[in-house]
């Protein structure tokens, strides 16, 4: 592609295609198109130009994708978006390099996995939002998540895009050549897409039993996490009263009695371990429904300067018997990294008066005879928490969340899409319990069978199949991601060797596929 303007247009279009592939737009087939357009934009470009094109593509994706971050300030939104866009610059340079190698569609797809792997880990624990895989919760590509988690789904999306690009380029450069090779590339892309549809059926775990699960969305009196004691108490009342209303419907024969009840993250920001009144309210609700509750409770420690974000198993007779502590925390929202430094320059960070501390153990919690793989809110964006909870015996996935800051911004739809992919990945149905929406029930195939309204109370009871056995993705863990990252690094090394040889022998030339 000659000229800076067409390259810039293709790069911007690449980012916008990825944006529109993701929730809430969900034009999933634009995922491969976006990956192809970015490769097209940087083919034959020098490193500096490729980096700027990658940055442009990343900005076109990230700035609108995480618009909901502006609840913390426009500066926070734009700084985070800029930081995420930066990851696309070195990837674009790598795409330009490996596009000169034979078999470049494979190497370009592996580079997408490498970029997402780094972005999901660094800095401050990572921010994997906007993965190619997350646009594929219930599509032909979602099946690859059941084989190798989100990295393999990303690889498949990018590879299909690259194969289609290779077919178009071959046809454009050699229009009179035999069509067999071009048709083979296109057929390979179509076969790869179609094959993903068959994977979930081939890897599906067995049904162990059927569990009756209730999801409670109590709603909040305002927007966001509650900082005023009266509002915290009201949030707790909203959720326990919703459980009491469900108990009344059960007694009236309008609903089946649930085996377990899932409530949101921060359903009680009052520490029910230390607050007898809060504990009594939760205990009364559990006794009324006569079922264990999975209740979101904030547990304070160290004199209130630190806290744990927990989902607590509250037994009707024994009270709190087990819990899971959130493992992936939102920087600057749930804790302030390098607090002494940042609060010196940003006054509003002082409003986060205590720092959440992460848990370390998987969230396999047993309630009413069913083991629930629990991942709280931000956890679900990372491969590890759900995978380890399922591997520890989780039969149904539960995602308690507090998205009250983000109602009607698209963030809740994005998180739901990730949960849907996790359901397919591990062959488990999933429930999402949100303070003010979106709460949902998802089948093991990624289909949404119930979705609550936003900013309104809601209760739903569903019969879910509790599963036993593990998908290949659960068994293999991080190995597919590691293998694909190694493949990308090997391709970059090979591209470097080829470039040095080309410099020593300029007459030899290189090929762009």
Question: Residue 257: left if φ>0, alpha if ψ -120 to 50, beta else—which one?
Answer: beta
503 is catalytic: no
CB-count burial class (<10 Å; 0-12, 13-18, 19+) for 391: middle
166 φ, ψ to 5°?
A: -60, -40
Q: Are 382 and 362 in contact (CB under 8 A)?
A: no
Catalytic residue among 116, 265, 413, 454: 265
CA distance linking residue 235 with residue 217, whole number of Å: 10
Residue 461 bridge partners (DSSP): 214
Catalytic residue among 17, 116, 334, 377: 377
377 is catalytic: yes
Q: H or E segment at 116?
A: helix 104-119
Please give the radius of gyration of the chain, using alpha carbons only, rounded to the nearest integer: 24
Q: Are 14 and 158 in contact (CB under 8 A)?
A: no
CA distance linking residue 385 with residue 391, whole number of Å: 10
Q: Quick one: which of 363, 409, 464 has its CA closest to 69?
A: 409
SS3 174: coil
Residues 6+ apart with CB under 8 A from 70: 76, 77
CA distance linking residue 305 with residue 286, whole number of Å: 30
Q: What share of the chain is helix, strand, coil (3-state, %, to 5)?
A: 55, 15, 30
26 is catalytic: no
Residues 6+ apart with CB under 8 A from 129: 65, 66, 84, 381, 414
Q: H or E segment at 399?
A: strand 396-401
Catalytic residue among 326, 334, 454, 481: 326
- Catalytic (active-site) positions: 265, 326, 377
């Amino acid at each position: 592609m000659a000229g800076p303007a067409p390259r810039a247009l293709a790069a911007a279009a690449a980012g916008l295609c990825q944006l529109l592939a993701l929730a809430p737009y969900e034009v999933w087939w634009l995922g491969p198109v976006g990956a192809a357009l970015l490769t097209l934009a940087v083919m034959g470009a020098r490193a500096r130009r490729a980096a700027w094109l990658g940055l442009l593509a990343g900005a076109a994706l990230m700035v609108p994708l995480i618009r909901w971050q502006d609840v913390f300030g426009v500066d926070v939104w734009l700084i985070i978006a800029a930081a995420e866009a930066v990851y696309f610059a070195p990837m674009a340079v790598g795409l330009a390099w490996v596009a000169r190698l034979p078999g470049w569609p494979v190497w370009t797809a592996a580079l997408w996995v490498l970029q997402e792997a780094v972005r999901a880990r660094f800095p401050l624990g990572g921010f994997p939002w906007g993965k190619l895989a997350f646009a594929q919760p219930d599509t032909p590509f979602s099946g690859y998540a059941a084989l190798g988690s989100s990295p393999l789904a990303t690889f498949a999306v990018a590879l299909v895009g690259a194969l289609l690009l290779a077919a178009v380029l071959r046809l454009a450069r050699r229009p009179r050549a035999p069509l067999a090779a071009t048709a083979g590339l296109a057929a390979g892309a179509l076969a790869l897409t179609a094959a993903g549809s068959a994977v979930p059926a081939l890897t599906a775990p067995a049904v162990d039993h059927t569990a009756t699960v209730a999801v409670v969305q109590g709603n909040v009196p305002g927007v966001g996490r509650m900082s005023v004691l009266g509002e915290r108490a009201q949030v707790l009342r909203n959720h326990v009263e919703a459980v009491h209303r469900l108990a009344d419907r059960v007694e009236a024969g309008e609903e089946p009695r649930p085996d377990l009840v899932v409530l949101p993250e921060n359903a009680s920001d009052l520490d029910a371990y230390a607050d007898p009144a809060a504990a009594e309210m939760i205990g009364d609700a559990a006794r009324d429904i006569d079922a264990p509750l999975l209740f979101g409770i904030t547990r304070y420690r160290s004199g209130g300067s630190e806290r744990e974000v927990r989902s607590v198993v509250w037994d009707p007779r024994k009270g709190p018997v087990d819990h899971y502590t959130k493992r992936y925390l939102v920087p600057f929202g749930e804790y302030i990294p390098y607090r002494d430094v940042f609060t010196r320059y940003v006054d509003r960070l002082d409003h986060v008066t205590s720092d959440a501390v992460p848990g370390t153990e998987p969230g396999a919690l047993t309630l009413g005879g069913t083991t629930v793989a629990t991942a709280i809110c931000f956890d679900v964006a990372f491969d590890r928490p759900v995978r380890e909870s399922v591997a520890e015996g989780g039969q149904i996935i539960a995602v308690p969340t507090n998205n009250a800051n983000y109602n009607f911004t698209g963030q809740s739809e994005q998180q739901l899409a990730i949960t849907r992919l996790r359901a397919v990945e591990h062959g488990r149905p999933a429930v999402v319990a949100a303070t003010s929406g979106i709460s949902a029930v998802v089948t093991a195939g990624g289909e949404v069978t119930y979705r609550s309204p936003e900013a309104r109370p809601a209760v739903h009871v569903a019969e879910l199949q509790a599963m036993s056995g593990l998908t290949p993705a659960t068994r293999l863990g991080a190995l597919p991601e590691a293998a694909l990252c190694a493949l990308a690094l090997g391709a970059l090394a090979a591209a470097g060797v080829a470039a040095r040889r080309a410099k020593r022998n300029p007459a030899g030339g290189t090929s762009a596929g």
